[in-house]
A = this chain, B = another copy of it.
Amino acid sequence: MSEASPVNRLLRLLPPQDLQRVWSKLKRITLVPKQVLLEQDAKVGNAFFIESGTVSMLQTMDDGARIEVGLVGPEGFVGIPLLLGEETTAVEGMVQVEGEALQMPAAAFQRLLSELPAFAKLLLRYTGSFHVQVAQTAACNGRHQVEQRLARWLLMTHDRNPGDRFTMTQEFMSTLLGIRRPGVTVAIGALQRAGLVEHSRGAVTVVDRAGLEAASCECYQVVKRRFAWLDPVNAPKS
């Protein structure tokens, strides 16, 4: 890993000299589905800049129920608690779609934050956008229906991953959305009948992206706009 050529949007937005310093502390790792990057109520040992794939930020309830409160892909990083000066995290970070990440130990991360103002500023801005995503999810969970929320979730995943087909069981999706598994069957069936997606055992394929956007709630667009400053200029998906 001698040459600094990240895919991650945050790293790409760093001034070149800063990137070199950051790069020297990064180690490339593979992200395997269901792998836990951030363990709930545990010390945060590393920050992760996502290169490909996606990571779900989850809240776990006392009864063991889980629900996704945010989603991180190559536009962002996992490790906000480190940035904000918290030792432990209340939110779990679990790999949702396989990929790669660049990992940095907490100590190096915090040192670089204090030495490179542009680095800190960038990550803080991302934190602001992510915060909006979580807030919108709170509102969405309270007011919108399963089918809309599923459509939104598929779009968010589609934005962060190449291709249109995602390996993913209904059981897994139901956990992230905080609903019953048969609820996913019904909702995804409705989307398929409308010609927006296709699904088979253990996978979903986005067929009609524009239609999916129409079927989702406004929450998708609201959050997307908040992340627009991170978009590659010449790579609007779809």
Contact = CB atoms under 8 A, between A and B. Distances in A.
A86 B229 CA distance: 11
Interface in A27-83: 57, 59, 61-62, 65, 67, 69-70, 80-81, 83
Copies of this chain present = 2
Contacts of A69: 135, 138-139
B59 A128 contact: no
Contact of A128 (B62, B85, B136): B85
B70 A121 contact: no
A61 B222 CA distance: 10
Contact of A91 (B62, B84, B85, B132): B132
Interface string A137-152: 1110111000000000
Interface in A157-196: 177-178
Interface residues of A, number: 38
Interface of A: 57, 59, 61-62, 65, 67, 69-70, 80-81, 83-86, 90-91, 121, 124-125, 127-129, 131-132, 134-139, 141-143, 177-178, 218, 222, 226
